[in-house]
Amino acid sequence: MNLKKELAGLLCLFLALALFHAVSVPVLMPKRCDYGSVWNMYLQEPEDSLDLLVFGSSLAYCDVVPSVIYEETGLTSFVMAGPSQRLPITYRYLLEACKTQSPKAVLIEATCLLLGRGDDSLKVNLTYMPWSLNRLIPTFQEASREDWPGLLFPLYAYHDRWDSLTLEDWRKGFGGYEPDPLAGYTFLDQASPAEGPKDRGYRITEEVYAENLNYISRMIDFCKEQDIVPIFFLTANINQPSEELQQRMEREITGLGAEFWNFDKDFDSLGLDLSTDFFDTLHFNYRGSEKFSRYLGDKIEALEFGASEVKDPALWQERVRYFSERKAEWDGKPVRMRSEEKAAN
């Protein structure tokens, strides 16, 4: 009898801890509304309402504006990227994101192929994901053992935030998130004058490159199974992969059966202003991202997908208005030179 009571007491303790964890974690976790990994807002999208999904690193969420693509094509889209995100994580993002959406095409920013191993961004990229195998598998495969507790138990990772909680933390923690007015895009208003394109000097071992290419192959296979068009692309930025590396990426990705769009080669056609359109040498600010997104929209429209009936037209009209108003606000001011306080990653 005593053993039964002890087991019952232990079970009650575990249930109480689980309940405390479930209630406290949404409040304690920093609220993620920009700079990638915006899963809480992505999951507010009506089911099967998005024509396009965009994946990758900060080069995706800083450079692609879904409301501009919607204006150009009538196609709805969302940027489900994450900071400094490697392809093993991007692959899991693709699988998880397609649980609630059935896109016609996915666009993956291809410099992820050139990112080496590292877990600096794993906490952000993984702890905001829904609980599923797509979160657990990369936790054990990509993270070091000492990082497992914080990734598996967010209360452990964010327990020290109690004394800095804001009203917004409590409101979103209990009330949840609203749809993202920028659909995964991060609005950057500062500018860094730049010179012309140059070789970034990517250094990656053949072993890691082959591993990344394997994940690209898996993404392409998944897309074909789901009748999704996979498109890999390079944004036009100042720090570019070498010409030799660009050619190798195009050759190997197209050889696996996917589209490859190299906008580094269209740098001049985009009409970019080196003095005002870049946040830094890798990312556009809102001026450059609008130009790039209109150009990207024209490229997408040429594929003749055909826009689906928009499930929530009021939401997309609001997104167009929201970006236009923020753009107009900063267009009316002197160009704001970039500080070093917050980088795009």
Predicted pLDDT at 149:
85
How do residues 8-49 score in pLDDT, each as one tens digit? 666 665 565 555 556 566 767 788 899 999 999 999 999 999
Lowest-confidence region among 2-6, 293-297, 329-333? 2-6
Alpha-carbon distance of 101 to 79, in angstroms, equals 13
pLDDT at residue 194, rounded to an integer? 84
What are the structural domain ranges in the chain?
32-141+177-337
State whether the Cα torsion 301-243-249-61 is positive or negative. negative
Q: What is the pLDDT of residue 8?
A: 62
CA atoms within 13 A on the CB side of 307: 15
Tell me what the pLDDT averaged over the chain comes to: 88
Q: Which class in CATH covers the domain with range 32-141+177-337?
A: alpha beta
pLDDT of residue 82: 95
Please tell me the predicted confidence (pLDDT) of residue 13. Answer: 58
pLDDT at 187 over 50: yes
Core vs surface per residue 219-255: b (16+ CB within 10 A) or e: bbebbeeeebbbbbbbbbbbebbeeebbeebbebbee
